Structure 1
Amino acid sequence: MSSSAQKLSLNALIALVVGSMIGAGVFSLPATFARATGVAGALIAWTIAGTGMLMLAFVFQTLAQRKPDLDSGVFSYAQAGFGNYMGFAAALGFWAGSCVGNVSYFVLIKSTLGGFFPDIFGDGNTVTAVVISSMILWGFHVLILRGVKEAATINTIATIAKIVPIGIFLLVALFNFKTGIFSDNFLGYFAAAITPSDDLLLHLNDYGHLGHAEAELIREAVATPTESLFSQVRGTMLVTVFVFLGIEGASVYSRYAKDRKDVGVATVLGFLGVLLTFVLITLLSYGVMTRAELAGLRQPSMALVLERMVGAWGAIFISVGLIISVLGAYLSWTLLAAEVLFSAAKSKVFPAALTRENENQVPAAALWLTNIFIQGFLILTYFVADAFTLALELTSALSLIPYFLVAAYGVKLASTAETYNINPENRNKDLIIACIATFYSALMLYSGGMKYILLAALIYAPTSLLFFKARQEQKLPIFATAFEKATFGVIVVGAVVAIYSIATGLIRLQ
């Protein structure tokens, strides 16, 4: 990737950011938000998420300009700021989150097809669904091995293609928007006096092809006493994180950029466009169907909202767009995951074997490990009832760890005034932005709950063997500081608690 022909332009970098973020999550927004909150809660949630993620985007932009030698973005910032083990933790969190996120893409594709062929694909976790997903997985594996530039070009085409059905959905929803329904949905409270009834479920089924999992969700929602607005907003937090994953896409590929200044510009422009899209999809849906109706839709709920407005062809149209979108996002995330493993190995926080490239300069060893991990998790989805939700929330929790470390490095850089001999007047502004981004990342981890923090620890503990191997290859002590030892100790304790909680039923995976 050293030749100019292999370098990525500003438009290609923006496409990587947009392509990474607009994937499975955008098509699930109407029902996912409706199950948690109404219009007021959605506005608050998007304001929090938009502000926090924009601050994080600014941190990536600042670090790209002030630390151009750190070419791999997410993990390299954590390593530079807090040592090798924290660099490993950031790389592993990003990589594992990307892999689990890719599994959610496969589940959603098959769940979409399950709306048309329920006996074959079900909710996306049947034997047939797992087999077909595996075939797609290894088909993309072969494609990427042919060259990163070629795969990035295909991603750009997929990004353009998926914008069309989303744009049409927004246009149709705008013309079908009813202020009365919107105002009724504003506070988002299910009436506490209503009891679950077959009549309500039949009504929802008429419009939403209600499945068993969705029926149980709506039964619980209708029977639950009115939640506080705070509880409603908290219920959306991991969802907003999930749909914004990929904001670091341009930063990860900074070493491929034609101009390093394009990295920060692509990150901010891509984020703002995606944020506006997410907000419009969520709010316009509240003006088309009641919260109860939206909450009862199976995924992908955007397809069923359009079907409500225009008829059966709407669901087909969005479903096709979803498949294109998710395949494009899957390609982006596979590239990002392999690139992080490769770069981390080159920085010696992963074993040297992962630095192997093929004749097309693709990190082949890292790609193999990535797809083997995805394949293993794909097989596990067969045994999990709600694989999509589990993958979505676990992905968010894993990805928040490197985000937190990147934001904290921004705080450290501004606090110590490192690199601020150039444009020192920006130091206070950058410090405030980095502090907000750090607080936001910590708040999202808290909002997600202890369950996913413990599950993340369960992934971190055994995979730390890769870090041990890398240190042994260099004939260095495994941990360089007491802080690293303490951090690993906390992870091990978390993993033990996670195992105990799963075994005793305190944590349920299904």
Structure 2
Amino acid sequence: MAPSSNEADQKLSRNALIALVIGSMVGSGIFALPASFGRATGAFGAIIAWVIAGAGMLMLALVFQSLSQRKPDLDAGIYAYAKAGFGDYIGFASAAGYWIGCCLADVACLILIKATLGIFFPVFGDGTTPIAIASATLLLWGVHLLVLRGIKGAAALNTVATYAKIIPILLFIVVAAITLDRELFTRNFWGTEQPDLSDVFTQVHSTMLLTVFVFVGIEGASVYSRYARNRADIGFATVAGFLSVLCLLVLVTLLSYGVLPREGLAALPTPSMAGVMEAMVGRWGGAFISVALLISILGNYLSWSLLAAEVLHSAAVNRTMPSFLARVNLHNVPTGALWLTNCAIQLFLLVTWFAEYAFTLALKMTSAMTLVPYFFVAAYGLKLAWRGETYNALERARVVDGVRSAVATLYAAGMIYAGGPKFLLLSSILYAPGTLLFVLAKRERKEAAFTPFEAVLFAAIMLAACAGVYALAIGAISI
């Protein structure tokens, strides 16, 4: 059946897909890098961290590229690959985890928007004052109305926002490269007064969840595969977007060590890139970066809203989520998924009122929730290569894809481990009630909720959720 004219109008070009990937990744994280890395490590530790993160995420990007070509029938890849490889409940958990991660990323964006405005208008404070939460609520539902008017229009706005925020970042990089103090960079190299490799690796460990957060969004083109004009553009957009963002992240991080001492970087308020720019060119530089941050986060927020609703909708179309989430309006926008997404964001936004470090919590929880879906995507790529499915006999690509998938799988598992038990317990608290959507979907299909293996897995999640609630109650962990 030929697509309707309205459906054809919603199709995205290669450039729009690349912008979606870059727009999803370049957001609040990159503007916080100087202080975040300054608190954790020196330049050498930063180099090691980016090598590990860059290699792991590049392998994941290549897995997405390979799967988009070998499994063209699987739309909304980050969910569909997990379901195809490991069954309904793991597919659901992957979709739910990714969706919650997107919602939390949007919460981080809203907090940082208001915290940045707080620099100029104290009533917004750190982004979690009553006025800040009220104004963030207005922004939340304003974007909701915009997206209801059509994915194409929202994606076009995201493309404009992507270009608008890249230009100030490039200017920052050029100015930092020109004013780089090599002697200061050398003093900041080890992160300690005396070179100590064991201390460097401890420093690197503390940056791991941060590096995951700034790469979240790499799957943007894959999630939107059903909107691509040409499926071949999906893999290209994923890899091109990733490599572009990696260059920006590395340059922003390393050049900052040549502008301020490490302790000076660590003390900078959010957005710390503004503080570095102000140190180089004066107060106007800090204000300029703050405005760029607002543009960046608004575009980033829009990207996450689109991705969150899309993954819920795709799961519902494939009958792993309740059918009400599959509803679309006249503009082909997934209305049911969009309403549930923004209601969840609203709830998380209210919770930030009680969090001590709301932005950092939202950032790390986003990483923890999205690492699980990433792990299953990589594991599915490994499964295909191991079994030879979609590969010809003795095909060299099978070995290459197998190695890439194995590295990506180990990387995702390693990052989950590096996050520690706190975030696993907090993630379980979110996964456990979310499973109600899976049970409702199964009831609609008149099927048993769980297979024996899935029942055991759900029981483990429930136990972890109960342990997490108890730990919160006694103060063993905090938000």
Q: 1:359 to 1:422 in 2, by over 3 A?
A: farther
Matched, 1:475 2:436: no
For 2:306 and 2:129, the matched residues in 1 are separated by 27
Matched, 1:290 2:261: yes
Q: What is the aligned partner in structure 1 of residue 90 from structure 2? A: 86
Q: What is the aligned partner in structure 2 of residue 13 from structure 1? A: 17
Counterpart residue type for residue 121 of structure 1: F
Matched, 1:57 2:61: yes
Q: What is the aligned partner in structure 2 of residue 218 from structure 1? A: none
Q: What is the aligned partner in structure 2 of residue 200 from structure 1? A: none
Secondary structure of 1:241's counterpart equals helix
Q: What is the aligned partner in structure 2 of residue 501 from structure 1? A: 471
For 1:289 and 1:233, the matched residues in 2 are separated by 20
Q: What is the aligned partner in structure 2 of residue 44 from structure 1? A: 48
For 2:111 and 2:460, the matched residues in 1 are separated by 32
Matched, 1:437 2:440: no
> Which runs of structure 2 are paired with 1:130-169 in the superposition (5 Å)?
130-169=133-172
For 2:393 and 2:36, the matched residues in 1 are separated by 45
For 2:393 and 2:82, the matched residues in 1 are separated by 22
Question: Gaps spanning 5+ residues in structure 2: where?
Answer: none
Q: What is the aligned partner in structure 2 of residue 105 from structure 1? A: 109
Q: What is the aligned partner in structure 2 of residue 492 from structure 1? A: 462
Cα drift, residue 4 of structure 1? 2.8
Cα drift, residue 139 of structure 1? 0.4
For 1:423 and 1:501, the matched residues in 2 are separated by 52
8 Å Cα contact 1:190-1:292 kept in structure 2: no
Counterpart residue type for residue 491 of structure 1: I
Identity, % of aligned positions: 56
Cα drift, residue 423 of structure 1? 8.5
Cα drift, residue 10 of structure 1? 0.6
Counterpart residue type for residue 505 of structure 1: G
Matched, 1:348 2:337: no
For 1:425 and 1:180, the matched residues in 2 are separated by 48
Secondary structure of 1:228's counterpart equals helix
Instruction: State the Cα deviation string for residues 277-297 of structure 1 (Å, max 9, x = none).
Output: 000000000000010000011
Counterpart residue type for residue 279 of structure 1: V
For 1:450 and 1:110, the matched residues in 2 are separated by 30
The structure 2 residue matched to 1:325, chosen from 296, 303, 309, is 296
Counterpart residue type for residue 127 of structure 1: P
For 1:508 and 1:424, the matched residues in 2 are separated by 51
Secondary structure of 2:354's counterpart equals coil
For 2:275 and 2:247, the matched residues in 1 are separated by 21
Q: What is the aligned partner in structure 1 of residue 387 from structure 2? A: 416
Secondary structure of 2:319's counterpart equals coil
For 2:369 and 2:193, the matched residues in 1 are separated by 32
Secondary structure of 1:454's counterpart equals helix
For 1:181 and 1:97, the matched residues in 2 are separated by 38
Q: What is the aligned partner in structure 1 of residue 192 from structure 2? A: 189
Cα drift, residue 484 of structure 1? 1.2
For 2:430 and 2:165, the matched residues in 1 are separated by 33
Question: Gaps spanning 5+ residues in structure 1: where?
Answer: 193-224
Counterpart residue type for residue 147 of structure 2: I
Cα drift, residue 101 of structure 1? 0.7
For 2:194 and 2:175, the matched residues in 1 are separated by 29
Matched, 1:34 2:30: no
Cα drift, residue 490 of structure 1? 1.3
Q: 1:191 to 1:420 in 2, by over 3 A?
A: closer
The structure 2 residue matched to 1:368, chosen from 339, 345, 368, is 339
Cα drift, residue 117 of structure 1? 1.8
For 2:49 and 2:83, the matched residues in 1 are separated by 31
The structure 1 residue matched to 2:74, chosen from 70, 75, 84, is 70
Q: What is the aligned partner in structure 1 of residue 359 from structure 2? A: 388
Secondary structure of 1:382's counterpart equals helix
The structure 2 residue matched to 1:276, chosen from 240, 247, 250, is 247
For 1:423 and 1:271, the matched residues in 2 are separated by 30
For 2:197 and 2:286, the matched residues in 1 are separated by 32
C-alpha RMSD of matched pairs (Å):
1.5
Cα drift, residue 191 of structure 1? 8.3
For 2:370 and 2:167, the matched residues in 1 are separated by 29
Q: 1:301 to 1:190 in 2, by over 3 A?
A: farther
Matched, 1:465 2:468: no
Instruction: State the Cα deviation string for residues 202-232 of structure 1 (Å, max 9, x = none).
Output: xxxxxxxxxxxxxxxxxxxxxxx99711210
For 1:411 and 1:400, the matched residues in 2 are separated by 16
Instruction: State the Cα deviation string for residues 411-469 of structure 1 (Å, max 9, x = none).
Output: 10111111113892200110000000000000001111110011000100111011011
Counterpart residue type for residue 79 of structure 2: F
Q: 1:423 to 1:248 in 2, by over 3 A?
A: farther
Q: What is the aligned partner in structure 2 of residue 253 from structure 1? A: 224
Q: 1:190 to 1:139 in 2, by over 3 A?
A: farther
Q: Which runs of 4+ in 1 moved over 4 A?
A: none
The structure 2 residue matched to 1:129, chosen from 128, 132, 141, is 132
For 1:231 and 1:186, the matched residues in 2 are separated by 15
For 1:441 and 1:473, the matched residues in 2 are separated by 34
